Amino acid sequence: MSADAATHDDHTPSLWDWRRWVLSTNHKDIGTMYLVFAIFAGIIGGGLSGLIRWELMEPGLQVFTGEDTGWGAIFGNAHNYNVVTTMHALIMIFFMVMPAMIGGFGNWFVPLMIGAPDMAFPRMNNISFWLLPASFALALMSMFVPGAGADLGFGGGWVLYPPLSTSGHNGPAMDLLILSLHIAGVSSILGAINFITTIFNMRAPGMTIHKMPLFVWSVLVTVFLLLLSLPVLAGALTMLLTDRNFGTAFFAPEGGGDPVMYQHLFWFFGHPEVYILILPGFGIVSHVVSTFSRKPIFGYLGMAYAMVAIGFIGFIVWAHHMYTVGMPVDLKAYFVAATMVIAVPTGIKIFSWIATMWGGSIEFRTPMMWAIGFIFLFTVGGVTGVVLANAGVDQSLHDTYYVVAHFHYVLSLGAVFAIFAGWYYWFEKIFGVKYNSFLARAQFFFFFIGANVIFFPQHFLGLNGMPRRYVDYPDAFEFWNAVSSWGYVIMLVGMVLFFAVLIDAMIRRRKADANPWGEGATTLEWTLSSPPPFHQFSELPKIK
Amino acid sequence: MTDLYGEAMRFLTALALTWTTFAAGAFATPGQPTDGALGFQPAVTPIMEEVTSFHNILLVLITIITLFVMGLLIYVMIRYNRKANPTPSKNSHNTLLEVVWTAVPVLILIGIAIPSFPLLYLQDEIPPEIDFTLKATGNQWNWSYEYPDHEVAEYFSNMIEEEDLQPGQLRNLSVDYPLVVPVNATVRLQVTASDVIHNWAMPSFGTKMDAIPGRINEAWFQATQEGVYYGQCSELCGLRHAFMPIEVHVVPQDVFDAWIAAKAEDEYSEAADTIIAEYTAARETRLAQLD
Ligand code: HEM
Ligand SMILES: [Cu+2]
Ligand SMILES: [Cu+2]
C-alpha cells in the first residue's frame, strides 16, 4: 500500500465494481478501458484481414463465393469481400490504433508525465471513452443490414467515395456507418479538447513546454490535428447523409454537385489522419530508444518541432491521394512539391533516433526490439511514400498493391510496432505485474518476419499492376499473393504469442518494480509505484 | 551440412537469377502481368518508358537510403550495445550534424523533383497533333467505348466469364469486344462514368484516369508496339469491380481501317471481330516462325 492510499478519498475501488468502470473519471482506468477496447477491436480487425488473405491465397473465389456451402453462403459474395476490406480499415484505424495510442497510452501517461493528478475534464474523459463502444456497435451492425440491394454491409472502401456511398449503396448500412463515424469523431474531438487543456494548464511547476517529454509533445500535436481535421470529415459525412436521405446534391453531378469535392474534403481530413495514427508512435519510440540507450534523446527541440512541422505540412498535401481525378497539372505539381517536403522532418526523426543510440549503452530489452524494428520498417514505408509523392509515377502505382504495401509499412508495421513498443515498455507500470520477456521477444520475431513476408511482396504485385480492393486477380499474380498469405500465418503465430504473454502474466502475477528499466528511464511515471496509486501527485512534483 | 548449404546457395542463386530477369521484363509478355515479376510490365508508350526509367532512378535512391539506415542501425547495435560500450556518452546535440541531415535530404528531394516535373507535364499535356479521340465510359460493371471521330456507335465491352474462355484468352482480363487502335497513333482518351467512379487503367501504357460521372477526363497515349494489352478497373466500384477488365489491340493502320469501317456499319459487327481474329492469328504464326 502506498502512502496516498491512506487518505480518505483515495481508496482504490474493487476491480469487480462495475461503477469503477462505467462511471469512471480516473484517467488510468479510462486508459485501461481504451487499451482493452483496442485489443478487442484488433482481434476483429485482424480476423477480417485473415479473411482477405484467405480469399487472395489463390486465384479464383475461395471464401466470398456467394455459393451455399451447406450452412448457407456464410461469408457472402464479392460485395461482402469489399465490406470486409472496408471494415478492416475502419476498425483498425478508428477502433484499434487511435484508441490504443491516444485513448490508451495518452490517457495513462500524459497526466503522469506532466505531473498532473488527472485529466482536466475527467467526466468528459468518461464520455469520450463510452461513445466508442456505441460507435463500434453501430459499425459492426452495419455489416449485417442491407447495403447495396440485397447484399449486406457497406462495401465502398474506408474512404466512402460517392456516388458509390450514396446512390451506389441504397441500404441502411451506410447510414449506420455515417452515424458510427460521427460518434467516433465526437469522441475524438472531446478527447482532443481534454488533452489540449490538460497539457496547457496542468503541467507540474517547472515543466515548461520545452521540458515536456516527447510523448506529451506527440500527443499534443496529434490532438491538434484531430481537432482541426475531424470537423471537416464530419461536414463531409453530413453532406453524404443529406445527399442520401434528404435530396441534397452536394456530391451528385445530376443535381449540380461534384463527387471530387467529397474527395477533397475527405483527404483534407484523411492525410492528417494518417499522421494522427503515427505521431504518438513517434513519441513512444523516442522514450524507448532513449531509455534503453541510457542517453537523453538526441536533438530534443528538433524532434519536437519536427512533429509540429509534420503536423502543419500534413494539412497542405491532401490531394496526393487524388492524382488521378483529373486535377489541373499545376495543382498536381504543387502537391508533389509539398508532399516531398514532409520527408524532411520525417528524416530528422529517423536520424535523431539513430543519433540517440549512437554512443549509448544499448540494452536489447523487449520494448527496444520493437522500437528498432519500428525505425527500420518505418523507413521502408517512408521511402515508398516519396516514390508515390511523384504524381508521374503515382499514375502507375495509384490504387495498386504498391500503395497497400506503402501504408502497411507505415501503419501495420510502423504504428503497430510502436504500439507494441509502448505496450511492453509500460506493461508493468500499467498492470503492476511482470511479463515473460522470452515470449514477448518471440512475438516480436514472428511479427517482424510475418509482416515483412506479407507486405514486401505487395510492392512487386503493385508494380506489376495488381489493383487493390480486388476479390480475385488474374492468374499471373498468384505467386506473390500466395507468399503474402503465408506471411499472414507467421504473423498469426505472433498474435497467439501476444495472448500467451498476457495470460502468463495474469497467472503468475509477479509483482512489478516501480522502475524496471534503470537509470535510462527518466520520466515522471517511473517515480511512482507500479501500478501507480489510484490518485497520484496530490502533491505536485517539482521539476528542477 | 555443407551439402545442404551448397544446395541452398544454388537454389538462392537460381531464384535471384530468375527474379532479376523477371524484373528486367525479359520473360514478360508485354501487356499483361507475369507471375513472380518484380517490376513494371514492359512499357509500350513514350509515357510509360519515362515512368519506368524515372522509377528505376527512384528505386536505386530509396534502396541506398534504406540500406544506409539499416547499416547505421546495425552498426550502433553492434558498436554501442551494453557489452561493447558500458558507459553511455551524454551528448545530445550536434548542430552541424543536424544541419547536414536536414540539408542532404532537401538536396536529394530537389534531385528527385528535377526529372519528376517534366514527366508530370508530359503525361498531362495532350500533344496538339492528335490522330483521333476515343471515349471510354465506366459502368457497373463493364466499359463502353465510342469512336466519335469515326462514327462508331457506343458498344459495350464485357469480361469473358471463366467457363467461356477460348484458348489464349486470359481469365479476368479478356473481354468480348475489345478496343482497337493503330500502332503509333496518338490517341486522345476521354473517360467518364455513368453511375459510380471507375478508373480506366492500362499498366503498359502508363495510363490511369478516373472515370467520374458528370465530368470528362482526358489522357493520351501512343502505343508503339503491336500486340494485345490488358488493364483493369482501378477505382472501387462495387460488386464486380474486379471483373471489368480492359483489352486493347494495337494493330497496323490498314487493319484498323478495315476494322473501323466494319464497326461503323454495326458496332457489334462480326466482320470486325473476324478482321481482328485473322490479323491476330497471322501475327502469332509470324511470331512463332521467328522463334
Ligand atoms: C514520407 C512520408 C510520406 C509520404 C511522402 C507519403 C505519400 C503518400 C502518397 C502520395 C499516397 C497516395 C498513394 C496513392 O493512393 O496513389 C499515400 C498513401 C497512403 N499513406 Fe502515405 N506517405 C508518407 C507517410 C505516411 C505515413 C507516416 C502514414 C501513416 C502512418 C501514411 C499512410 C498512408 C495511407 C493510409 C495511405 C493510403 C490511403 C488510401 O488510399 O486508402 N503515409 N502516401
Ligand atoms: Cu497522405
Ligand atoms: Cu471498378
Q: Do B195 and B140 form a contact (C-beta atoms < 8 A)?
A: yes
* Closest C-alpha to A217, from A309, A293, A343: A309
Give the pLDDT of residue A65. Answer: 86
Interface test with B, best of A262, A388, A463 (most B CBs within 10 A): A463
Nearest to A302 by CA among B108, B91, B98: B98
Q: What DSSP string runs through A363-406? A: ---HHHHHHHHHHHHHHHHHHHHHHHHSHHHHHHHTTBHHHHHH
* ipTM surpasses 0.90: yes
Q: Quote the CA–CA distance of A393 and A104 in Å, as a whole number.
A: 38
Q: Is A210 a catalytic residue?
A: no
Q: Per-block average pLDDT, block size 10, for chain A (544 residues)?
A: 46 87 95 97 96 95 81 82 97 97 97 96 97 98 94 96 96 97 97 98 95 97 97 98 96 95 97 96 97 95 95 96 96 96 95 95 96 96 96 96 97 93 97 96 97 97 97 96 97 97 95 92 93 91 83
What does the pLDDT read at residue B10? 61
pLDDT above 70: residue B4: no
Q: Which atom of ligand 1 is nearest to the CA of A281?
A: 30
Q: Is A188 a catalytic residue?
A: yes
Interchain CB distance below 8 Å, A380 and B232: no
pLDDT at site A280? 97
Give pLDDT, residue B8: 61
Does residue B24 register a pLDDT over 60? no
Model pLDDT, residue B1: 43
- Cβ–Cβ of B242/A470 closer than 8 Å? yes
Q: Would strands B227-231 and B207-211 be described as parallel, antiparallel, or unpaired? A: unpaired
pLDDT tens-digit readout, B212-226: 999 999 999 999 999
pLDDT (0 to 100) of residue A64 = 92
- pLDDT of amino acid A1: 40
Q: Do A357 and B33 touch (CB under 8 A)?
A: no
Residue type, A505: A
Q: pLDDT grade, residue B23 (50/70/90)?
A: low
Question: Which of A340, A361, A396 is facing B88, going by the closest CB pair?
Answer: A361
pLDDT at residue B2 greater than cutoff 80: no
> Is residue A371 within 8 Å of A288, Cβ to Cβ?
yes
Whether B12 has a pLDDT exceeding 70, the answer reads no
Which atom of ligand 1 is least distant from the CA of A388? 10
CB nearest to B109's CB, from A78, A168, A343: A343
